[in-house]
Every structure is written in structure tokens, then in C-alpha cells.
């Protein structure tokens, strides 16, 4: 979508992420930097299509936010996007950016994932408001995602403070009707340098003064919150029950709420207005707080001395939905559902032709203990590969393996290997590799380099070859990088040649020195050109031993009636990982057209 | 509150479910109705279960369908028809793609695929249609148009003007595939009787 002419006040159907991207364009944003992470990823992907805003993927969220802080200091409006756990990485600059304040509006979109549709925890990032002392807004659907994001830039500049727009999966990936407003024309605004060390250099003496300013700002914001249209009250004559809610929960509340109950919908999550809360709570007999995850609003209500129900009715885990809210309200369900029937699960699996399959097949045979990381390869944890034995957060695999190595001994120590993807390695893994070199680790690190950030949908990264805006760029040379930080033993392996990879992995695991094995093959989804002709199985040869099924490829189908395995030729990519598993050489392998040796 | 139409779309990652819900939402917008749609991306792309909720009406709040409240179910795979059974009521009108996609965990012998699905549908669903969408798509020109066949069947059962469906589909599919997809839509449309 190239934006040529600007249409005003149109009505469009957008996901929350598309709405945020459009809001950023309409708010005159000049620069956007983020790191992909579900459910936030599509914001920058959509924004990049407008061409009006400079967009980039940064190697991690901390870098992304720092880039945006720089742009803001130079006077430009800047947007940083990340998922909830990403804000943990970016927390360091965020806390101090609250002290410096901004010049151009500085907005961070932070996408929480209640229910953990694709995350390792379901932390509630509203707590970053009080902790980092920044302003937080929370939209409840696409339309609000658009309008709140625009307001966030205005508020950021008006109050000289970074603003977080906190979304959740339902808002990011839900679609709804957006009423677009006239774009702001900031073309007359010129970026410039401003020398003001008292504001922008946070040495202790200056920071102490800025902390005073920041607390004053928060007080002003509390007053503003009391009047702001971001917090909306809908009072009914009958004052028996009042519900306080925000974000996606508001939509569920509105779906099931009895007509005579009043509602306070909060759009400003930090600072909360004591005034707004007190006014509402003292005008109804019973208060019910409906919010996902932690009792954030509930705690504030109780601190003001009001009694309320909340987590006692709705619980601390997962997403809400209309049924859970109705149940919490004590409204009996009138619906009938069809009777339940037990089904086997259908978990996501490594794709057919996925290069990670080869590495896990080899590591399983070597009986390793795999300290894993966050990415597609984490799916290797599932049966039949059973390939991951620990996994905490982005970039942690190397550090954990190093820690294990230092407290284990003998054969146990040798069993531990670290496995990390290229994007994750460049995100925060590289720091741990430096630590392993410096602190004399003897471990083995496998970098699964598929040249892309695959899990979130094949985004570009510093190893990909193009930028988010589509320009050709430098590629990180992984071997040179590892050597440069001091690793002596760096080798490349091909995950599609599991026989050779097995030899190499075995040798390096045995080695009493630190080594890095870069297992290199492109992601089959991002680089379709690696796809080869599908294999077939000679049904006369196949003895039905199922040995090949252990690689867990969806293209291999067990034919129970014939007691044989067949290949689904619409799925098979001809990667050959299954071939050496067969004890009777039943696979018929077509000649390869473009398989180079690594 | 005026009546809201709830459509649940279920299947396996990679089957084109998101396009189906996209088309439905776009139709609602063109009809001047409010619409909310909800689905979860990420892991689901890798052969996992996928579901999309679409809700159409004068004013829609929740993006999620409540217990038993689906008016229509569009199912891209036989077993996935029942993955979200809590959202399906006896009144739900279902269109079921008559095809099995066996999960890897079943293939390697950890789980087994339910064998008695037809009997279960017959017993518990008042109105359902089994459509051999892959076969019809192949007839239309490519198995990839399976999702459009299913949308065609849904169009037959929903009350919106057929031309709007065709307009939106022709806009959303790649230009080169318009003819094939139009044919696929018609085959799906004729595969179910009102
Ligand atoms: S069947 Fe074998 S060759 Fe084909 S994609 Fe699966 S593992 Fe690779
Ligand atoms: S490993 Fe070979 S013999 Fe055994 S089931 Fe697979 S194809 Fe058949």
C-alpha cells in the first residue's frame, strides 16, 4: 500500500496492528524501530508499506527503544514496537527515558499475551506504569487502537513523557471497523539537535532534578486523567452495581452486562485517577473489577478504601471471554452446546523441510541435554524429537549451558549443549558467547542459522540480506563474528546431511574446549528456492518399521492398512533428513538441482 | 440488542482460514454492518489448529463468540470441526470439508484419529453438510482453491447477496487466479442445498 493521496475520515476494516500502523502515519511519525514478537509483529510490517516512515528491525528491543529515544531527542515522533517480554529487554532505557522526557513524541507499543497463545509467560505489563513512571494507555479494539495511538503522541509531547500503548493479543490480531481521522501534517517540523545536558544527560546530579520534574508530571497527568475522555463513565439510574474495566475485557463486559449496571471504562492505565475511581465507587453500591491477569485496577480501588470484587470472581490466569465474564457476574448461561468428544491435540510442528529437524535428529542420537532458546526450533521439544530440555527467554540458552557446565562434571557436563537460532543469537545470545569465551567455558554451542526470524513470520534480521524497507544490505558473517569474540573452534554443518553433521557434532561435543557449530540452511518458508523434488518410498522395500517417522516430518504418512509409510508429495520438500533413518534404503531420492555443499 | 450473526471458522494452519474470515469481514463492512473478527497468529502457522471468530451485526462488542452461540461453522478439516465444540450448539449450521489431515502426533503413534466422526455429526448436529472441497477445487483448476469452495458453500447458506461475495473474492485473490477461484466458488455454492 503506497500512500499517495490522503483520504480523510474513512471507515476501514483493520486489525489492531494495522490500525496502530495507520495511526503512526497519521500522527506524523518519522521513525519506527522494533523487534518482531507475536502479537506485535505486523505493526512495523504494515508501517513499512507506507514508505512515509523510516522503519527498521533492530537486533533486540533495547536497541530499538534506544534508536527511538535518539530520534525523539532530535525532535521527531518515534514509535517502538515489541511484545510483553520484549519490554523486559528494553526496560533499562525505558526507566531513564522517563527521567529525560522526550522532544518528539515517543510511543512504545507493548503487546501482552494473556493466555500465552505464543509466549513463554503471561506477564502483565501494566505494572511497568508505576515501575517505570511512564504513561500507559490501553485500547479495547481496532478503532481505539487507532485513536489511542494518535493521542499517545500528543500526550507524550504535551507532558514530556514516554507513553506505552499496552495492547493484548485480541486487540492486536482482532479486526474491526476503524474510523480514520484527518492526518496531522508535521512536514513543517524540522529535526535539529538540542544541547540541554540538564535534561538529556542523566548523571546523578541532573537525574535528581529530573526525578522531581517527573513526579510533578505524573501529578499533572493524574489531574488530566480525571478529565480525560480516555476514561469513560456510563452511569445508570439504578445504582446497585458498577463495573470497572479496560482493554479487551471491556468488550466482554458490554456483551453480557445487565442493562441496569453502570460501567467505568479506563483508557488511561497509568497514572490512574484516584478521583475518577473514587467518584465511581462511591456512587454505586457494589463494585466489580473485570480485568485480565493481575489485580492491577482492583488493588488501586482497594487502596482507596473501597470494597470490590475482582480476582475472586475471575482468577489470575489467562484470557477472559464473554462466558467467563458472565459466569463471574453470576449470570447463568442459557446456551446449550453439543456434547463433548475427546480429540487428539494438534500442536504446531516443525514444517516439512525445516532445517532444524536434522539438527534435532542428530542431537537426539547423541543423547545430549539441550539448553534451548526461543524460536521455531523450540517446537523441537515436542514428540517425537523431544529435543529441548530447558528454555527460559530470548538469548538465555548459552548462559544457562555455561552455568550448567560449571557445576556439572564428567559425562553429565559433556551432555550439555546450547542451541540457539541466528536471530536470537544476534538478539542477546552474542553477549553470552563473549562470556563463555572470557570465563573459559568448554561447552558446545549450536547456532541454527536459517537466515531469518522464522517463528514470527520470516522477518529480516542482520543475517538476512535485506532491510525491512526492502533494501539490500550487509550480512553478518557468523563464522567471522564467533572468531572475532575469541572462539577458536568454529565449524559449519549442513542439517540436511545428518550423517556428516552427526560426525561433526560428536567430535565437537567430545572436545574439551569451547566450540561453535553453525548449522546453516535457509528457512524453507522464507526461501522457497531450497525446495527440491519430493521423495517417494518403494512400497516393496518398506518393511513398516517406522524408523523414518522418528524425524517427525508431517510429509511422512503412516498407512495403517498397508503397514507402510508413504510420502505426501504435496508437502515433502526433498530435504533428505529422513533418508538415512531407513534401515532398508526404501526411499527413492530424485537428483538434487540446487543443493550446494556447505 | 439486535441479532448478531456468529461465524466460526476452524481448520489447520496453512489451509487459508484467515483469507476466508477476511472475505466475510469485508462483506460485512460493505453491507454497512459492524464486524469484529478474532484469530490468533504465531504457532498456528505450523500445522497447528487454527480458529477464527467472525461476528457481524448492527453493533458488535466482543470479538469472541460465546458458548454454544455459533450460527454457522465453516470447518476446513473433519476432526477440527469438533475442536471448538464448546462454541457449537445444536442449532449451528455446519459446512464440513470432507477431508482428514492427520496430525504428526497421530502419525507417529502417540495419539489416534477418531474413526466415528460421521456418526457423531449425525447424532449431534441438526444441520450439516459434508463437502468434498478438495475434489471440487481440483475440478475448478487447483486444489489450492479449497478454501474458496468452502466459502462458496457458506455463501449459499448465509443471506447476503451472492454478487457481493464474488466481488470481494475477486478482489482478494491474486489476479491470475480470478477465473479459477470464481469457478471454485460456484462449485461450492452448488454443493449445498438451501
Ligand atoms: S519426507 Fe523426508 S525429505 Fe520430505 S520433507 Fe520430510 S524429512 Fe524432508
Ligand atoms: S524407515 Fe524405511 S522401512 Fe521403515 S517405515 Fe520408513 S520407509 Fe519403511
Neighbours of A23 (CB within 10 A): 31
Residue A546, chain B, CB below 8 Å: the answer is yes
Residues linked to residue A178 through DSSP beta bridges, in sequence order: A12
Distance CA A247, CA A354 (A): 38
Distance CA B120, CA A524 (A): 38
Nearest neighbour of B103 by CB, restricted to A322, A346, A553: A346
Rounded average pLDDT over A102-125: 95
Residues A282/A259, Cβ–Cβ less than 8 Å: no
Answer whether B67 sits within 8 Å of A457, measured CB to CB: no
Please name the helix (run of DSSP H) or strand (run of DSSP E) that holds residue A88, with its range, or none.
Answer: helix A84-100
Neighbours of A389 (CB within 10 A): 15
Residue A32 reports pLDDT greater than 90: yes
Answer whether B89 sits within 8 Å of A456, measured CB to CB: no
CB-based burial, A446-480: b 16+ in 10 Å, e otherwise:
bbbbbbbbbbbbbbbbbbbeebbeeeeeeebebbe
CB-based burial, A533-565: b 16+ in 10 Å, e otherwise:
ebbebeeeebeeebbbbbbbbbbbbbeeeeebb
Residues A335/B66, Cβ–Cβ less than 8 Å: yes
Chain A residue at shortest CA distance from B46: A348
DSSP single-letter state for residue A466: B
A551 pocket-lining for ligand 1 (C-beta < 6 Å) = yes
pLDDT in the model for residue A525: 87
Distance CA A264, CA A236 (A): 11
- C-alpha grid cell for residue A183? 492526518
Rounded average pLDDT over A33-39: 95
Kindly indicate the confidence band of residue A9, based on its pLDDT and cuts at 50, 70 and 90: low
Distance CA A533, CA A498 (A): 19
Kindly indicate the confidence band of residue A561, based on its pLDDT and cuts at 50, 70 and 90: confident
Using a CB-CB cut-off of 8 Å, the residues of chain B touching A567 are none
pLDDT in the model for residue B2: 59
- Ligand with the closest atom to the CA of A566: 2
Residues linked to residue A234 through DSSP beta bridges, in sequence order: A263
Using a CB-CB cut-off of 8 Å, the residues of chain B touching A348 are 13, 43-48
Q: DSSP letters of A353-381?
A: T-THHHHHHHHHHTT-EEE--SSGGGGGG
Kindly indicate the confidence band of residue A594, based on its pLDDT and cuts at 50, 70 and 90: low
Distance CA B35, CA A532 (A): 43
pLDDT in the model for residue B4: 95
pLDDT in the model for residue A456: 85
Residues B47/A351, Cβ–Cβ less than 8 Å: yes
The Å distance, Cα A566 to ligand 2 centre, comes to 9
Cis peptide leading into residue B81 (ω within 30°) = no
A535 pocket-lining for ligand 1 (C-beta < 6 Å) = yes
- C-alpha grid cell for residue A119? 509466549
B29, B59, B38, B15: which is closest to B167 by C-alpha? B29
Neighbours of A15 (CB within 10 A): 26
The Å distance, Cα A556 to ligand 2 centre, comes to 10
pLDDT in the model for residue A4: 43
CA-only gyration radius of chain B, Å: 16
Q: A37: which residues sit within 8 A by CB, 6+ positions away?
A: A61, A82, A83, A85, A86, A111, A456
**Apex CA B40: angle with CA B159 and CA B70, to 5°?**
35
Rounded average pLDDT over A96-124: 96
The number of C-beta contacts closer than 8 angstroms across A and B is 179
Chain A residues 101-120 within an 8 A CB cutoff of chain B: 117-118
pLDDT in the model for residue A595: 60
Residue A239, chain B, CB below 8 Å: the answer is no
A352 pocket-lining for ligand 1 (C-beta < 6 Å) = yes
Q: Which ligand 2 atom is nearest residue A556's CA? A: 6
Q: Which residue has the cell 477418531?
A: B114
Distance CA A183, CA A269 (A): 26
pLDDT in the model for residue A348: 86
pLDDT in the model for residue A403: 95
Distance CA A22, CA A180 (A): 9
A556 pocket-lining for ligand 1 (C-beta < 6 Å) = yes
Q: Which residue has the cell 518399521?
A: A545
Residue A8 reports pLDDT greater than 60: no
- C-alpha grid cell for residue B192? 449445498
pLDDT, tens digit, for every residue of B98-153?
A: 999 988 888 888 888 999 999 999 999 999 999 999 999 999 999 889 999 999 99
The alpha helices in B108-177, defined as continuous H runs, are: 117-124, 133-140, 146-157, 162-172
B5, B122, B118, B7: which is closest to B54 by C-alpha? B7
Kindly indicate the confidence band of residue A362, based on its pLDDT and cuts at 50, 70 and 90: very high
- Average pLDDT score, chain A: 94
From first to last of its 194 residues, what are the pLDDT tens digits of chain B? 458 999 999 999 888 898 999 999 999 999 999 999 998 765 556 788 999 999 999 999 999 999 999 999 999 999 999 999 999 999 999 999 999 998 888 888 888 899 999 999 999 999 999 999 999 999 999 988 999 999 999 999 998 999 999 999 999 999 999 999 999 999 999 999 86
Helices and strands (H, E) in chain B, number of each type: 7, 6
pLDDT, tens digit, for every residue of A502-513?
A: 999 999 999 999
Strand order in the sheet with A175-179: A11-15, A175-179, B34-39, B49-57, B5-12, B72-75, B93-97, B127-131
Rounded average pLDDT over A407-416: 93
- C-alpha grid cell for residue A39? 502479537
Interface predicted TM-score of the whole assembly (ipTM), two decimals = 0.92
Burial class, A488, CB count within 10 angstroms (exposed 0-12 / middle 13-18 / buried 19+): exposed
Answer whether B48 sits within 8 Å of A349, measured CB to CB: yes
pLDDT in the model for residue A10: 87
Q: Give the distance, in angstroms, between the CA of residue A79 and the centroid of all CA atoms in the same chain.
A: 16
Rounded average pLDDT over A484-508: 97
Answer whether B46 sits within 8 Å of A570, measured CB to CB: no
pLDDT in the model for residue A598: 45
A576 pocket-lining for ligand 1 (C-beta < 6 Å) = yes
Q: What percent of chain A has pLDDT over 90?
A: 86
Residue A204 reports pLDDT greater than 90: yes
**Total-model pTM:** 0.93
pLDDT, tens digit, for every residue of A157-198?
A: 999 999 999 999 999 999 999 999 999 999 999 999 999 999
Strand order in the sheet with A78-83: A54-57, A31-34, A78-83, A106-112, A163-168, A135-137, A268-270
pLDDT in the model for residue B44: 58
> In terms of DSSP bridges, do strands A489-493 and A515-520 run parallel, antiparallel, or are they unpaired?
parallel
Tell whether the torsion through CA atoms of A317, A319, A320 and A324 is positive or negative.
negative
SS3 of residue A348 by DSSP = coil
A81, A120, A86: which is closest to A428 by C-alpha? A86
Distance CA A358, CA A383 (A): 15
Distance CA A430, CA A475 (A): 16
Residue A491 reports pLDDT greater than 70: yes
Q: In degrees to the nearest 10, what's the CA dihedral of A32, A37, A42, A48?
A: 30
Kindly indicate the confidence band of residue A2, based on its pLDDT and cuts at 50, 70 and 90: very low
Please name the helix (run of DSSP H) or strand (run of DSSP E) that holds residue A176, with its range, or none.
Answer: strand A175-179
Strand order in the sheet with A515-520: A369-371, A416-421, A444-449, A515-520, A489-493
Kindly indicate the confidence band of residue A347, based on its pLDDT and cuts at 50, 70 and 90: confident
Residues A555/A571, Cβ–Cβ less than 8 Å: yes
Kindly indicate the confidence band of residue A527, based on its pLDDT and cuts at 50, 70 and 90: confident
Residues linked to residue A287 through DSSP beta bridges, in sequence order: A242
Residue A563, chain B, CB below 8 Å: the answer is no
Q: A578: which residues sit within 8 A by CB, 6+ positions away?
A: A535, A548, A551, A553, A556, A587
Distance CA B12, CA B52 (A): 11
Answer whether B36 sits within 8 Å of A321, measured CB to CB: no
Q: Which ligand 1 atom is nearest residue A553's CA? A: 6
Amino acid at each position: 500500500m503506497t500512500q499517495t493521496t490522503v483520504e480523510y475520515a474513512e471507515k476501514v476494516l483493520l486489525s489492531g496492528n494495522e490500525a496502530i500502523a495507520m495511526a503512526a502515519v497519521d500522527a506524523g511519525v518519522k521513525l519506527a524501530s522494533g523487534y518482531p514478537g507475536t502479537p506485535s509483529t505486523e505493526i512495523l510490517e504494515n508501517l513499512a508499506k507506507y514508505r512515509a516512515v523510516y522503519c527498521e528491525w533492530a537486533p533486540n528491543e533495547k536497541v530499538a527503544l534506544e534508536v527511538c529515544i535518539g530520534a525523539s531527542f532530535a525532535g521527531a515522533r518515534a514509535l517502538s514496537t515489541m511484545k510483553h517480554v520484549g519490554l523486559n529487554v528494553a526496560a533499562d532505557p525505558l526507566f531513564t527515558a522517563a527521567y529525560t522526557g522526550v522532544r518528539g513524541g515517543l510511543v512504545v507499543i507493548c503487546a501482552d499475551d494473556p493466555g500465552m497463545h505464543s509466549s513463554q509467560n503471561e506477564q502483565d505489563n501494566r505494572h511497568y506504569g508505576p515501575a517505570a513512571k511512564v504513561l500507559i494507555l490501553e485500547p479495547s479494539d481496532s478503532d481505539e487502537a487507532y485513536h489511542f495511538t494518535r493521542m499517545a503522541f500528543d500526550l507524550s509531547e504535551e507532558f514530556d513523557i514516554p507513553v506505552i500503548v499496552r495492547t493484548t493479543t485480541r486487540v492486536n490480531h482482532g479486526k474491526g471497523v476503524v474510523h480514520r481521522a484527518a492526518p496531522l501534517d508535521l512536514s513543517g517540523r524540522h529535526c535539529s539537535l538540542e544541547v540541554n545536558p540538564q535534561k538529556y544527560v542523566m548523571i546523578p546530579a541532573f537525574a535528581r532534578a529530573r526525578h522531581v520534574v517527573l513526579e510533578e508530571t505524573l501529578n499533572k497527568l493524574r489531574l488530566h486523567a480525571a478529565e480525560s475522555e480516555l476514561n469513560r463513565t456510563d452511569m445508570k439510574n439504578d445504582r446497585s452495581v458498577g463495573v470497572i474495566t479496560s482493554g479487551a475485557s471491556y468488550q466482554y463486559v458490554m456483551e453480557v452486562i445487565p442493562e441496569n449496571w453502570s460501567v467505568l471504562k479506563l483508557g488511561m492505565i497509568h497514572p490512574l485517577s484516584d478521583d475518577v475511581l473514587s467518584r465511581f465507587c462511591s456512587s454505586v453500591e457494589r463494585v466489580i473489577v473485570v480485568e485480565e491477569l493481575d489485580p492491577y485496577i482492583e488493588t488501586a480501588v482497594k487502596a482507596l478504601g473501597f470494597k470490590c470484587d475482582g480476582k475472586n470472581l475471575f482468577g489470575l490466569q489467562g484470557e477472559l471471554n464473554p462466558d467467563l465474564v458472565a459466569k463471574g457476574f453470576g449470570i447463568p448461561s442459557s446456551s446449550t452446546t453439543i456434547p463433548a468428544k475427546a480429540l487428539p491435540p494438534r500442536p504446531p510442528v516443525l514444517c516439512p523441510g525445516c532445517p532444524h529437524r536434522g539438527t534435532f535428529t542428530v542431537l537426539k542420537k547423541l543423547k545430549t541435554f539441550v539448553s534451548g532458546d526461543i524460536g521455531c526450533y523450540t517446537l523441537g521439544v515436542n514428540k517425537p524429537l523431544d529435543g529441548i530440555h530447558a528454555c527460559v527467554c530470548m538469548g538465555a540458552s548459552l548462559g544457562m549451558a555455561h552455568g550448567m557446565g560449571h557445576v556439572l562434571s564428567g559425562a553429565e557436563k559433556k551432555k550439555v549443549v546450547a542451541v540457539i537460532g541466528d536471530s536470537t543469537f544476534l538478539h542477546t545470545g552474542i553477549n553470552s558467547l563473549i562470556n563463555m569465551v572470557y570465563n573459559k567455558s568448554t561447552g558446545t554451542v549450536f547456532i541454527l542459522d536459517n537466515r531469518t526470524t522464522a517463528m514470527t513470520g520470516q522477518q529480516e534480521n542482520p543475517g538476512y540480506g535485506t532491510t525491512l524497507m526492502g533494501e539490500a544490505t550487509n550480512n553478518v558473517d557468523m563464522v567471522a563474528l564467533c572468531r572475532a569474540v575469541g572462539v577458536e573452534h568454529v565449524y559449519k554443518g549442513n542439517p540436511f546431511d545428518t550423517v556428516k553433521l552427526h560426525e561433526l557434532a560428536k567430535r565437537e561435543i567430545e572436545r574439551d574446549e569451547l566450540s561453535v557449530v553453525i548449522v546453516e540452511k535457509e528457512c524453507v518458508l522464507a526461501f522457497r528456492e531450497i525446495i527440491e523434488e519430493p521423495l517417494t518410498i518403494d512400497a516393496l522395500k518398506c518393511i513398516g518399521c517406522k524408523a523414518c517417522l522418528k524425524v517427525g516430518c508431517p510429509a511422512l504418512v503412516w498407512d495403517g492398512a498397508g503397514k507402510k509409510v508413504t510420502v505426501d508429495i504435496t508437502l515433502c520438500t526433498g530435504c533428505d533428513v529422513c533418508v538415512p533413518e531407513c534401515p532398508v534404503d526404501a526411499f527413492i531420492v530424485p537428483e538434487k538441482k540446487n543443493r550446494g555443499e556447505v | 440488542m439486535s441479532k448478531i450473526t456468529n461465524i466460526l471458522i476452524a481448520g489447520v494452519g496453512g489451509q487459508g482460514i484467515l483469507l476466508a474470515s477476511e472475505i466475510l469481514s469485508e462483506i460485512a463492512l460493505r453491507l454497512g454492518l459492524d464486524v469484529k473478527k478474532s484469530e490468533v497468529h504465531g504457532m498456528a502457522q505450523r500445522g497447528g489448529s487454527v480458529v477464527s471468530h467472525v461476528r457481524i451485526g448492527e453493533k458488535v462488542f466482543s470479538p469472541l463468540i460465546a458458548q454454544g452461540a455459533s450460527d454457522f461453522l465453516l470447518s476446513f478439516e473433519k476432526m477440527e470441526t469438533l475442536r471448538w465444540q464448546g462454541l457449537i450448539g445444536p442449532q449451528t449450521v455446519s459446512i464440513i470439508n470432507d477431508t482428514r489431515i492427520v496430525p504428526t502426533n497421530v502419525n507417529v503413534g502417540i495419539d489416534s484419529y477418531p474413526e466415528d466422526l460421521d456418526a457423531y455429526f449425525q447424532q449431534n448436529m441438526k444441520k450439516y453438510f459434508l463437502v468434498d472441497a478438495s475434489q471440487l477445487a481440483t475440478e475448478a483448476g487447483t486444489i489450492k482453491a479449497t478454501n474458496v469452495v468452502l466459502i462458496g458453500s457458506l455463501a449459499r447458506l448465509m443471506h447476503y447477496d451472492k454478487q457481493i461475495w464474488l466481488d470481494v473474492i475477486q478482489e482478494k485473490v491474486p489476479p491470475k487466479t480470478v477465473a479459477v477461484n470464481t469457478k471454485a466458488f460456484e462449485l461450492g455454492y452448488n454443493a449445498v442445498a438451501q
